[in-house]
Amino acid sequence: MKVSELALPRPRPAGSLPTRFVIVLLNTSIRLLKFSRGTTNTSGASTSDVDKEKIKDLNLMLDSIQTPPWNLSEGDGFHGRILYIYTSGTTGLPKAAVISTSRVIFMASAIHNFLNIKPADIIYCPLPLYHTAGGVISVGQAIIYGSSVVIKTKFSASQYFPDCAKYNATIGHYIGEMCRYIMATPHSPADKQHCVRAVFGNGMRPQIWTEFVNRFNIKTVGEFYGATEGNANIINVDGTVGAIGFVSRIIPKVYPIAIIKVDQETGEPIRDSMGLCQLAKPQEPGVFIGKISPNNPSRAYLGYVDKTASEKKVVHDVFEHGDSAFISGSDILVSDELGYLYFKDRTGDTFRWRGENVSTTEVEAAVSRVANNRDAVVYGVMIPNTEGRAGMCGIVDKDGTLDLEKLAKDLANDLPPYARPIFLRVMSSMEMTGTFKMKKNDLQKEGYNPNIIKDKLYYLDAKTGKYFSLGSEEYDKINNGHIRL
């Protein structure tokens, strides 16, 4: 493979439009095609004229364009920034992460090598290209390695595997809640009438993992984990159910990442008497970190455009005074005795109720499972004069078929009393990030107040174990202690 044309900034003639981007062909056999739906203003044009414009060969178009000679510009080269990618905004406002050329190649190459992707493979990508997963990891297989990538304009759960069959895809890409949505579709012969041998992404819930691979006949699941702005990435390629990656306990220095102890409420590292961070033991929750080595492209940390935000993701004096590491921040992980890592929760999401810690991730999984894979998000809310935070669950019920009595009974069987949602917020839809993760900040701020919430609210009656409607009268009684939860 070779670079057919060097893509560098070049001067433009006076009056011309600024260059937005330049396409680099690392494989000269790649053919660029533009598929369009026709112009929005077709007045004066016949249907046949519009149809002729639907497919254009961009290679011919590029060859016909007269441009000034290429000029080499000053830059940082392989280690310089190539683009900005905004984080998904799951727990706050999106921030522009700085991505270098070396990191683009590192991320795409990691998936390529671990999944043994070949040039003949066809990758199906229904993800947005403005995030790392679709725009770098999937598209990178075409730009760097020459594999074909099928880009779907919009994700459709019912069309995921039919599309894979239609385009002869051999590898599928997923993210966030996609797999759960696909699992919620009716069973059909199309479930196994495809050539997909592997899927990769992040967000495959352990509760559906085995059922997913069995139903759709998937041989390999490449579940990976890593922040867009970070320098610590891991992947699970041996099919260990629920694991998001693996780090050897025998030779840990080969890949200098670790899980350190943190305060699960604040996310702050717990330090020893020397002021250094403490390694989390197997099954002990902690936060994922990656040692920063500025001269190593895979270990460098470029952070965000906002330097203040960048510094918040760096922890100093980790295992020796003077060292530093990228800290993933809100994600709580645990490892087992072998070195497999598992997602547990987010800092600030775990809350205490009746003297016990409640994992929102575990409760969300339980609610979704017993409610036919509905979207469900769990968070803690404050009740006046009550210690801790009560669990509240926002759940989607588009068609009004949610059986609250059955839900209460099933949750009573699946969850201990302290983990069962005290409040329910039944919604017609739920706000999602661009990477199919559910937002909960605004829901948590609104609490269980029926005076500001238009959705239907319910509370769990302690005596009967059933959910009852929560209006202004019940709201006042709960706050005054007349209704005990």
Predicted local distance difference test score (pLDDT) of residue 182: 95
Predicted local distance difference test score (pLDDT) of residue 214: 97
Q: Residue 412 and residue 461: Cα distance in Å, rounded?
A: 13
What torsion, rounded to 10 degrees, do the Cα atoms 415, 421, 427, 431 define?
-80
Q: Domain of 231: which CATH number? A: 3.40.50.12780
Q: Residue 145 and residue 260: Cα distance in Å, rounded?
A: 36
In terms of domains, do 55 and 178 share one? no
Confidence of residue 185 (pLDDT cuts 50, 70, 90): very high
Q: Is 274 contained in some domain? A: no
**How open is the CA angle 162-164-170, to the nearest 5 degrees?**
150
Given 47, 68, 89, the domain boundary residue is 68
**Is the distance from CB of 224 to CB of 201 less than 8 angstroms?**
yes
Return the residue matching tokens 């066809």.
122
In terms of domains, do 55 and 109 share one? no
What is the crossing angle of helices 360-370 and 404-414, to 10°?
Answer: 130
In terms of domains, do 237 and 371 share one? no
In terms of domains, do 148 and 208 share one? yes
- By percentage, how much of the chain surpasses pLDDT 90? 47
> What is the rounded radius of gyration, in angstroms, for the C-alpha atoms of the chain?
25
SS3 199: strand
In terms of domains, do 185 and 298 share one? yes
385 versus 13: the higher-pLDDT residue is 385
Range of the domain at 122: 77-253+289-312
In terms of domains, do 53 and 85 share one? no
**Is the distance from CB of 145 to CB of 119 less than 8 angstroms?**
yes
Q: Which of 90-104, 229-243, 277-291, 325-339 has the lowest mean pLDDT?
A: 90-104
In terms of domains, do 237 and 190 share one? yes
Q: Domain of 377: which CATH number? A: 3.30.300.30
For the chain, the 3-state helix, strand and coil shares in percent, each to the nearest 5, are 25, 25, 50
- In the chain, the number of structural domains is 3
Given 41, 68, 95, the domain boundary residue is 68
SS3 220: strand
In terms of domains, do 149 and 204 share one? yes
Residue 415: which of 461, 359, 342 has the closest Cα? 359
Q: Is 342 contained in some domain? A: no
In terms of domains, do 95 and 52 share one? no
Given 68, 88, 120, the domain boundary residue is 68
In terms of domains, do 166 and 207 share one? yes
Q: Is 327 contained in some domain? A: no
In terms of domains, do 402 and 366 share one? yes
In terms of domains, do 83 and 138 share one? yes
Predicted local distance difference test score (pLDDT) of residue 14: 40
Confidence of residue 74 (pLDDT cuts 50, 70, 90): low
Q: How far lies 318's CA from each of 231, 263, 268, in Å?
A: 15, 15, 12
Provide mean pLDDT across the span 439-458.
Answer: 90
Q: How far is CA 471 from the centre of its chain?
A: 36
> 0.85 exceeded by the pTM?
no
Which amino acid appears at position 286 of this protein?
Answer: G
Q: Is 414 contained in some domain? A: yes
Strands laid side by side in the 171-175 sheet: 148-151, 122-125, 171-175, 198-202, 220-226, 233-236
Residues recorded for the chain: 485
Q: Residue 271 and residue 259: Cα distance in Å, rounded?
A: 13
SS3 330: strand
Q: Is 335 contained in some domain? A: no
What is the crossing angle of helices 206-216 and 360-370, to 10°?
Answer: 40
Q: Is 123 contained in some domain? A: yes
Q: Residue 458 and residue 209: Cα distance in Å, rounded?
A: 31
Q: Is 318 contained in some domain? A: no
Provide mean pLDDT across the span 388-399.
Answer: 92
Q: Is 467 contained in some domain? A: yes
